[in-house]
C-alpha cells in the first residue's frame, strides 16, 4: 500500500510538471551586469521616456536580463570593444510578452500621441502596425535579443549613430544614407560608428534586422520558439 501511495504521488507530480507554463521560467536567464559589470544601463521601458510615455508592463526593475548563452557572447563583444575604447550601453534586453501586449494596446489607442514629436514625428500612428514598427511578437521575449549602442569611454558620450533609439523612421534603417546629412558627408561618418558596433556583434554570433541599427539577436539562440512572460524583477 505504501509503495502504491508513492507511485501515485510521483504520477501527480509528473502531471504538474507537464502543466507548468515554460514562459514563466527564468532559470537559464542571468542579470546582464553580473556578466558584464561595466555595461551602462538605460532601461527605457522602466522609465516614462519611451514612445509610449509610461513605464511598460513587466518592467519592475531597471535591470537587463538575457539567456546565459546570449550574455556570454555579449561579454566577448564587450571585451573586444573595451580594448578599442568603448563601452556598451544597453536600452533593452529580455522583454516580457506582457510588455509587447502593452505596446499593442497603446498602438491601437490612436488618440494617445503624447510622445509623437520625440519618437515618430513623421509617421502616422495608425500606420505603426502596417509599417512594421509594432508587432504582436518580439524576439526580445525569447531572451537572446538586445538593443544597445556604444559609449566613448574617454568622453562618456554616445557615438553618433544617426538616429535615437526607438526612432520610428527610415533613419534607423542600417543601410540608410539619405536626407540632408548626406550632402556634407555626415552619414559616412555615422556609418563608420555603426560599423564599429555591427562588426563586433556579427563577428561574435549576433544577427541584425533591416529596420533598427541597435537591435541584435543571438543567431544560435537557445529558445527560438518560446516567448517568455515572467516580469523583470
Burial class of residue 51 in the structure, from the number of CB atoms within 10 Å of its CB (0-12 exposed, 13-18 middle, 19+ buried): buried
Of 80, 108, 212, 221, which is the active-site residue? 212
Active site (annotated) includes residue 212: yes
SS3 state at 85 = coil
Expressed in angstroms, the distance from the first to the final Cα of the chain is: 45
Q: Which three cell numbers stand for residue 63?
A: 535591470
CB-side exposure of 155: number of CA atoms within 13 Å? 7
The closest of 105, 98, 110 to 24, measured between CA atoms, is 98
What Cα–Cα distance (Å) separates residue 229 from each residue in 59, 101, 138, 220, 232?
Answer: 11, 10, 11, 21, 9
Task: Return d(Cα 53, Cα 42) in angstroms, integer.
Answer: 15
Residue 22, H or E segment: none
Q: Which three cell numbers stand for residue 38?
A: 561595466
The closest of 62, 53, 18 to 125, measured between CA atoms, is 53
What is the DSSP secondary structure assignment for residue 55, as one 8-state letter? P
SS3 state at 43 = coil
Catalytic residues: 212
Amino acid at each position: 500500500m505504501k509503495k502504491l501511495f508513492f507511485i501515485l504521488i510521483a504520477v501527480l507530480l509528473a502531471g504538474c510538471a507537464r502543466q507548468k507554463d515554460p514562459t514563466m521560467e527564468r532559470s537559464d536567464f542571468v542579470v546582464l551586469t553580473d556578466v558584464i559589470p561595466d555595461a551602462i544601463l538605460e532601461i527605457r521601458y522602466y522609465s516614462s521616456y519611451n514612445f509610449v510615455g509610461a513605464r511598460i508592463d513587466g518592467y519592475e526593475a531597471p535591470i537587463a536580463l538575457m539567456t546565459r548563452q546570449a550574455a556570454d557572447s555579449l561579454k566577448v563583444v564587450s571585451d573586444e570593444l573595451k580594448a578599442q575604447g568603448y563601452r556598451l550601453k544597453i536600452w533593452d534586453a529580455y522583454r516580457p510578452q506582457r510588455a509587447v501586449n502593452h505596446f499593442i494596446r497603446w498602438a491601437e489607442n490612436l488618440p494617445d500621441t503624447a510622445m509623437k514629436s520625440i519618437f515618430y514625428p513623421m509617421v502616422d500612428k495608425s500606420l505603426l502596425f502596417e509599417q512594421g514598427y509594432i508587432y504582436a511578437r518580439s524576439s526580445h521575449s525569447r531572451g537572446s535579443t538586445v538593443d544597445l549602442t556604444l559609449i566613448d569611454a574617454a568622453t562618456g558620450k554616445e557615438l553618433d549613430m544617426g538616429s535615437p533609439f526607438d526612432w520610428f523612421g527610415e533613419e534607423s534603417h542600417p543601410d540608410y544614407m539619405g536626407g540632408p546629412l548626406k550632402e556634407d558627408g555626415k552619414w559616412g561618418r555615422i556609418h563608420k560608428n555603426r560599423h564599429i558596433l555591427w562588426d563586433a556583434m556579427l563577428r561574435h554570433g549576433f544577427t541584425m534586422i533591416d529596420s533598427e541599427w541597435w537591435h541584435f539577436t543571438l543567431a544560435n539562440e537557445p529558445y527560438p520558439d518560446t516567448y517568455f512572460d515572467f516580469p523583470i524583477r
